[in-house]
A = this chain, B = another copy of it.
Amino acid sequence: MLNTNGYKSLMHFKDVLTPTTFLERTGRVFPNKTAIVEGKDIITYGTLLSRARCLADLLDSLNIRYGDRVAVLAENCLTVIDAHFGIPAIGAILVMLNPSLTSSEIEYLLDFSGASILILDANFSHKVLPECQLRLKHLKNIIIFNGTCDLDNAIDYEKYIDRQHKSNRELDKVIRDENDILTINFTSGTTGSPKGVMCSHRGAYLHSLGQILMLGLNPQSRYLWTLPMFHVNGWGHIWASTAISATQIIYSSYSKEEEILSLLHQYSITHLCGAPRIVRKLIKQVSENQKYTELTITTGGATPPPSLIQELIKIGVRFIHQYGLSETYGPFIVCEKQEEWDKMPFDRQAKFLLRQGVPCIHAGTGMRVVDKDMRDVPKDGHTLGEVIMKGNTVSTGYFKNQEATEQAFRNGWFHSGDIAVVHLDGYIEIRDRIKDLIYVETDHGWENISSIEIENFLSSHKYVNEAAVIGIPTKNTSRIIAFVEIANNLSVNEKDLKEFCNKGLPEYKCPEAFYFKTLPKTSTGKIRKNILLADILPDTLERTLC
């Protein structure tokens, strides 16, 4: 065929970009190298390749076809890694579910995504009710591991793997178009209008290579899984670690968090990632004289407090601050360290490093901060604008939600909803979110939850007219406060609403305090949350909402 500059070239030589290639190559080149350490088990790249091929065979035998959705409900474990290669190997779409979700939320997402298969960690089998299976006609089979379950059409995963002969299937050969969907990751808004962020094979491939470069992963790296794998596919680090043939260490979240420190020493960990809260917990356990010069810690998800950055620098850690969203496959922006910062006192360094920064290598130049008319804000460290992003590692849209897609991805850019300033050196610094997301700690990690979701739930109470929910950041998590306007002078008290919430929301989404009052609004009808907050916490107003 003739390409656009007129020379006959051979397009069929182009290989599709898909992260399954990484395991196909590493499994062949380093079959005996340790891929994964999980408790006492050591899994080589040869075994991982073989497991992923078996999973693909199993799905194929269950008549899962190109584009079908396969959901996974599990904590960090080997099977989740298998799933990240075995599912896309047949062109099916991976849907990771958050194990903190309630039964009804899980059912909703299984329904909405139209999943044909659920790969289920038996520790969460109580969350999938038999009635749900009856209602969801498209859910053909359950693939169960870590134990058994009473659900119909359940297949024991490990038994299948043990029984299988060696599969010769190649993982990276079926993808028709690298822009086809590889995963759907659900953002926190789980009711009303769920948004399933679609990520492509091309995007995941390029994002993975970019993350290797940003983190400085190499074949000798030992990566500790402190990040939840269900969260934006663990920032793509399953694929990245596999591409560079690093070793991944998984620990059970049932182990106490203090164990992280001993794992760090036991496995000479070189890389770990997590929200500032996780990193803070780890640092608290470290004695001041201990140095960790071989350790790289990457944070994201929230702005790290300067004190935390200083502590990390003091103990010799290489600190990386990345920023991104589900819509950008995780990290898209990084606070690249300039050589001259090294010479600064720690507190000054920390001030530079808490900024979100500049585009990652894989993000190229696809970042802007703009006003509502899409004009770039000046580089003055002062003028607020919205962070917008564009590039190969920006989502191709929301699954079955054209309206939300058109809204968020308007004008050819993804609108993050995050408000930032641009400093003179081009580094951005996030100042707020447009949407009121609340950052909370859960049993299985951390999450940004939507105040709108809780508000909608409260409003579903027959006596509640309207509700406004605010998260007040505390040291480790957020306090969720609800302001409620009661209909027609009906009688409902805090205890009633707490019970109502406990029945329908996961515990971490339940407000801890309720205030009953008429909600103040702007002329266009939006609730003025800053006024509500000022009533109860006047001194925090400036800090929490600007």
Interface residues of A (CB under 8 A from B): 3-15, 17, 21-22, 24-25, 28-30, 32-33, 66-67, 91, 93, 170, 172, 176-177, 179-181, 198, 200, 202, 206, 209, 212-213, 216, 218, 243-244, 336, 338-340, 358-359, 361, 364-366, 390-392, 394-397, 399-400, 402, 405, 409, 412, 414, 426
Q: A7-B396, A30-B338, A244-B361 are in contact. List 16 more A-B contacts (CB 8 A).
A: A3-B177, A4-B180, A5-B66, A5-B180, A7-B198, A7-B399, A9-B198, A13-B396, A13-B414, A15-B366, A24-B364, A28-B365, A28-B426, A32-B338, A209-B209, A216-B218
Q: List 13 A-B contacts (CB under 8 A).
A: A4-B176, A5-B67, A7-B67, A7-B181, A9-B200, A10-B396, A10-B405, A10-B409, A11-B396, A13-B391, A14-B202, A25-B358, A172-B364
Q: For A400, what are the chain B residues with a Cβ–Cβ distance below 8 Å?
A: 7
Q: Name A92's closest neighbour in chain B (CB-CB).
A: B5
Task: Count chain B CB atoms within 10 A of each CB in A176, A212, A364 and give the residue with the most.
Answer: A364
With contacts A10-B405, A366-B15 taken as known, whether A5 is within 8 angstroms of B91 at the C-beta atoms is yes
A12 to B397, CA, bound (A): 11
Q: For A67, what are the chain B residues with a Cβ–Cβ distance below 8 Å?
A: 5-7
A407 to B243, CA, bound (A): 33
Query: In the complex the two chains form, is A365's CB within 8 Å of B181's CB?
Result: no
Q: For A7, what are the chain B residues with a Cβ–Cβ distance below 8 Å?
A: 67, 181, 198, 396-397, 399-400
Query: In the complex the two chains form, is A30's CB within 8 Å of B336's CB?
Result: yes
- Chain B proximity of A410: nearest CB distance (Å): 10
A287 to B182, CA, bound (A): 54
Q: For A200, what are the chain B residues with a Cβ–Cβ distance below 8 Å?
A: 9
A21 to B365, CA, bound (A): 7
Q: Report the 6 A-B pairs with minimum CB-CB distance, sorted nearest first.
A: A9-B396, A5-B67, A21-B364, A29-B358, A4-B177, A5-B180
A179 to B5, CA, bound (A): 9
- Chain B proximity of A240: nearest CB distance (Å): 11
A8 to B414, CA, bound (A): 16
- Chain B proximity of A427: nearest CB distance (Å): 9
